[in-house]
Structure 1
Amino acid sequence: MRTGSAGVLFLILSLQPAPAQEAGTTGGPLSAIDWLSQSVATPAAAMPEAGPVRPDEPPVAEAGSALPATVTTSSLDGPAPDGVGLIAPAVSSLPHDLWGAGLTREIAESLVNHPDEALPALRQLFLTILLAELAPPVDAGGRGELLLVRIDKLLALGALEQAAALIEAAGVTTPELFRRAFDVALLTGAEDRACASMAGEPHLAPTLPARIFCLARSGDWDTAALTIRTASALGQISADQEALLSRFLDPDLYEGEPVPPAPNPVTPLDWMIYAAIGEPLPTDGLPIAFSYAELGPRSGWKARIEAAERLTRAGTIPPNVILGLYTESTPAASGGVWDRAAAFQAFDAAIASGSAERVAATLPAVWARMQEVELEVPFATLYAKALLDLPLAGEAAAIAFRVGLLSPQSETWARQASPATPEESFLTAIALGRGAEALPPDSMGRAISAAFRAPAPSTEGQRLLDENRTGEAVLVAIDSIGRGVKGDLRGVTEGLSILRLAGLEAVARRTALELMILERRG
């Protein structure tokens, strides 16, 4: 692809950067991510009018478990982008009208303000809400505002593959959605596909850095260089941008010269360019989405393990990814990630051998290493079934019991348990749905037991349930339990009560078990 200088000049003049304003109702954008690449020109969106008054509707019916399971894609073939999802109601066990009488802006604010840190069961519940196929809010009007908020929250949580699938399921290409798809492709090692998508969408106007990057990726170095020179002459890029892009095209010309400082914030396109010139920016100080860029073969083993640990802890990649990385090679040193890999490998070999003695000898060490990085639940998902029938005793048996209760096989473990302590008796009762009958062993247990004995939601939570705003009530529940983890035990009772009243009994049980077993108390 070759163009003359006049064509490049026309391109630059026609791509004056417009304000990157996301669609939203009156009062400003509903969500925004400051680290998204300016990959396409995004003209300011027209502000829609305020939504209708909330109707008076009956309460939402009960639902069951809300853990993500098999993902199914629902294509968008009508004017309801906010209803698109990857998990059908029959799979998510969330009611299709979860948002009920809720309004878009209020729902969006609850999603945007939701903290990223939560117990694993609550993280999975929140991800399910973001990914579920649900009826749009009553004032959605086909604008797709809540869809964009959900995608942005997925990106903020590091759920890049899920965000990409949601964008694809929407079946439309707007500048706002394309920017997100472009950055997901960059961070997941699909930069050539991102550039091809840009070339295949003629209605999208690529910004200069994105166009230069894609020209270089396609091998059209001359046009890329001419674009840089013309943009610089017209004052369309800064001196640092010119230096960085020029170095990207021909690193040898700048050997020995200082690298332009990294911008703030760093975008995925910035990250890719710095990596291409041999000056990769560390991802541990960047948003978690950048950790995906470290999973590929271009990164070293240690960096890939650490990135996978962050993403596994966030619940956005399956546990078998960290299993594969921990067991990929032989640790070359000791301390930190190497100790975790060594302990994991020793335990994995013991499990494979079927020897109860070897498992008993290696389980305490690997459990301690998993606790260091808060990966107890992924570990339980991987190994609880294999531990179920092993004849363990002492410390190993006590650990295996807790591993089992943190796993999808928790009820099976509870049914065959022989509790040795008041705490184990309480945990068994919770797993079997008899939390109201058991004697709580401590203050956390009392807060949990109260919710199962006589649900007592917060005033706000009860109001939302009464107003047929179940989805927002569930988000309040998650936040309330988060306060409880930090010491406000009333929040535990209120949050678990809301989950139970919303029909999420299985989630409430798993959350209660995690509150008791995991060391997350503030």
Structure 2
Amino acid sequence: MRISCFLYFFLLASPLAAEAPLSAIDWLSIKKNDVESSLKSVEKESSDTNKDIQVSTLSSDKFQSIGLLPVYVTGIPTTIWRNSSFNDLTYSFKSMPTFSYPPIQELVYSLLLAEARPPLDEPESYSFLDVRLQKLLSYGAVDPAIALIERASPVPNSMVPLLFDISLLSNNNMPACDPIFKKRKNRELQGELVYCYARKGDWLTAHLILKTESVLGDISEHLISLLNRYLEVDFEVDLNALLPPPSLITPLEYRLYEAIGEPIPAEYLPIKYSQSDLSGDNGWRAQVIAAERLASTSAIPENQILGIYTKYNTSVSGGVWERVDAVKSLDTALELNENFEEILQNSLEVFSKADQLSLFAKLFARRIYEQSFSPKSKKIAADLLLLTNNFELTEYYWRSEDIRFGLVSGDFSNVKTKNETENIILKVFTDPKMPFLVEQKLNQGKLGEVILNALLQFETGIQGDLKDLSESLSTLNLIGLNNTARRAALTHLVLLNEKQSGVN
């Protein structure tokens, strides 16, 4: 399993029972070989005890929970989707946007990656796993998607094409060819087979298959043209090769265009293609743009973003380079403690103007808070920390009358509100009420649907629908996602105030 590639430490699992922030790294470090050895020893012991007992494997699609985050990490029960309609869940996931606030987006990742059984009415084995994988890809979370599909090991035949596509999207560009070789007779995978033989170095076999398929017609003419140019065996002018790329390309076509020296900029493609630019092979600008796109969906850890921002010295200005310069300047100012206050203000304005304040907070909030000297910079740092999972560090900064103190500490006894939004938030955490429809769905065992609906309600709530804001936060609070509810409320207060008053 390619767990080493999956450093999903930006994702804080949100346990439903006791919501202490936990990292996925602890359990990901468990060696697969140790588990396999344990299973083999148990199997041998059972066999020695009674030779007459016949052992058969339970069908994984019926009984096995598939996921990366175990129950003891998330607190999310494996039956979270069991009683919901497959069609309803599919619609919910497909229509689900990229959420504006990181705490909500991180919870979505927890739901997608948690060990869970499929709905009882799943039409075909692994159909729900496919829905989860497609959603991860829509956020650009390629490496977690690879790790998740491999948890269904051995990878089911129906998912081999998807595994191959996902592997091509990864920035290490190591295609999953072994399953393709095992299914070499599959007429729908002949293009993939040609590519894999070429990557293996067996150019003759790749060429023979391609020529055969040119006659049989199992590969599109456009793909045949690309493969011919990739194999460099046909130097005649091919009209198909001169045509511009189609508006929707496959991962294989994307890699072929790259290989023949005509790369398609990932910034103009769906976000799942941005992962390939993180390697830096397509230049620093492409790498920075990819990092920022993936940061917008919380699909990249902040230390990797910081490393990309500070990788080189800039020689141009404007656009993305303005943010690169801001990061490098502030990073240097924090290390040398020179011109800190002025550079902080400038950097904050740059990221606020680009609507990337949450990203800025993840990169610098804690360091700024620990090194702030003036009351003004301390206030800025405290607000920024509220946008991160280190919000509790600010508990002693706020007055007890401030709603932010209540959300950080959990003590609302002295809180005095200033506006309707604060009134609603205070009521949510001091006198929460379960919406009737939510209670109905919980009684039906549809916890997953309840969470998804609450997240969608919150997104409309922050756009101005205060009823949805109230119901969504109340639901999250009452079903045990108190930490997520608090972080979401804090994020909303900070960003709402920033929009209304601008950067101070």
Regarding TM over 0.5, the answer is: yes
Gaps of at least 5 residues in structure 2 are 1-14, 37-56
Question: Does the 8 A contact of 2:65 with 2:78 survive in 1?
Answer: no
Q: Residue 488 of structure 1: which of 429, 454, 465 is its match?
A: 465
The residue that corresponds to 2:320 in the other structure is 337
Alignment of 1:51-450 (within 5 A): 63-65=17-19, 69-71=23-25, 72=27, 78-81=58-61, 83-99=65-81, 101-139=83-121, 143-200=125-182, 207-250=189-232, 253=235, 259-353=242-336, 355=337, 358-417=339-398, 425-435=402-412, 438-450=415-427
- Summarize deviations over 1:484-513 as a string: whole Å, max 9, x none: 122212111010011011111110000001
Could you tell me how far apart the structure 2 residues matched to 1:184 and 1:90 are?
28
What is the match of residue 471 of structure 1?
A: 448
Q: Using a 3 Å threshold, how does the CA distance of structure 1 residues 426 and 172 change in structure 2: closer, same or farther?
A: same
Whether the 8 Å contact between 1:417 and 1:428 is mirrored in structure 2 is: yes
Distance between the aligned counterparts of 2:123 and 2:65, measured in 1? 11
Question: What secondary structure is seen at the aligned counterpart in 1 of 2:318?
Answer: coil
CA contact (8 A) 1:480 1:494 kept: yes
- Partner Cα separation in structure 1 for residue 331 and residue 133 of structure 2: 36
Residue among 502, 518, 521 paired with 2:479:
502
1:157 partner amino acid: Y
How far is the alpha carbon of 1:517 from its aligned partner? 1.2
Which digits, 9 at most, give the CA deviation of each residue in 1:89-138, with x for residues without a partner? 22213344434643444333333332223311000001001111235545
C-alpha distance in structure 2 between counterparts of 1:391 and 1:192, whole Å: 45
Distance 2:399 2:355 in 1: 27
Q: Following the alignment from structure 2 to structure 1, what is the Cα–Cα distance between the partners of residues 432 and 280? A: 50
CA change 1:138–1:199 in 2 (3 A) is closer
Of 398, 406, 428, which aligns to 1:451?
428
Q: Secondary structure at the match of 2:267?
A: coil
The CA distance in 2 between the partners of 1:392 and 1:200, in whole Å, is 63
Q: Is the 8 A contact 1:68 1:128 kept in 2?
A: no
Deviations 1:52-74 (A, max 9, x none): xxxxxxxxx96243866224359
The question of whether the paired residues in 1 share the 8 Å contact of 2:188 and 2:218 is answered with: no
Gaps of 5+ in 1: 1-60
- Distance in 2, matches of 1:100 and 1:238, equals 40
Residue 246 of structure 1 aligns with an amino acid whose one-letter code is N
How far has the Cα of 1:413 moved from its partner?
Answer: 1.0
Structure 1 residues 148-187: Cα deviation after superposition (integer angstroms, max 9, x where no partner): 2212211121111111111112212223322222122111
Query: Which is further off, 396-405 or 192-201?
Result: 192-201
1:435–1:262 Cα change, 3 Å: farther
Q: Is the Cα–Cα contact under 8 Å of residues 66 and 93 in structure 1 kept in the other structure?
A: no
Distance 1:222 1:62, change over 3 A: closer
Read off the aligned partner of 2:17 and give its amino acid letter: A
Counterpart amino acid of 1:397? K
Question: In 2, distance between residues paired with 1:363 and 1:158?
Answer: 30
Which residue does the alignment assign to 1:461? 438
Change (3 A) 1:256 1:324: farther
Instruction: Note closer, same or farther for the CA distance 1:192–1:90 as it changes in structure 2 (3 Å cut).
Output: closer
Aligned-partner Cα distance in 2 for 1:217–1:300:
23
In structure 2, distance between residues paired with 1:98 and 1:212: 41
Q: Which string of whole-angstrom CA distances, capped at 9 and with x for unpartnered residues, describes residues 16-47 of structure 1? A: xxxxxxxxxxxxxxxxxxxxxxxxxxxxxxxx
Specify whether residues 460 and 118 from structure 1 end up closer, same or farther in structure 2 by C-alpha distance, changes over 3 A only.
farther
Indicate how the Cα distance of structure 1 residues 351 and 310 shifts in structure 2: closer, same or farther if over 3 A, else same: same
Partner SS for 1:408: coil
Cα distance in structure 1, aligned partners of 2:451 and 2:210: 51
Question: Cα RMSD (Å) of the superposition?
Answer: 3.1
User: Equivalent residue of 2:451, what SS?
Assistant: helix
Bigger relative CO (Cα 8 Å, ≥ 6 apart): 1
Aligned residue identity for 2:464: G
Shift in Å at residue 270 of structure 1?
0.8
> 1:348 offset after TM fit, Å?
0.8
- Deviating more after overlay: 276-285 vs 110-119: 110-119
Q: TM-score, normalised by structure 1?
A: 0.79
Contact 2:171/2:277 (<8 A) preserved:
no
| Identical-pair percentage | 30
Relative to the length of structure 2, the TM-score reads 0.81
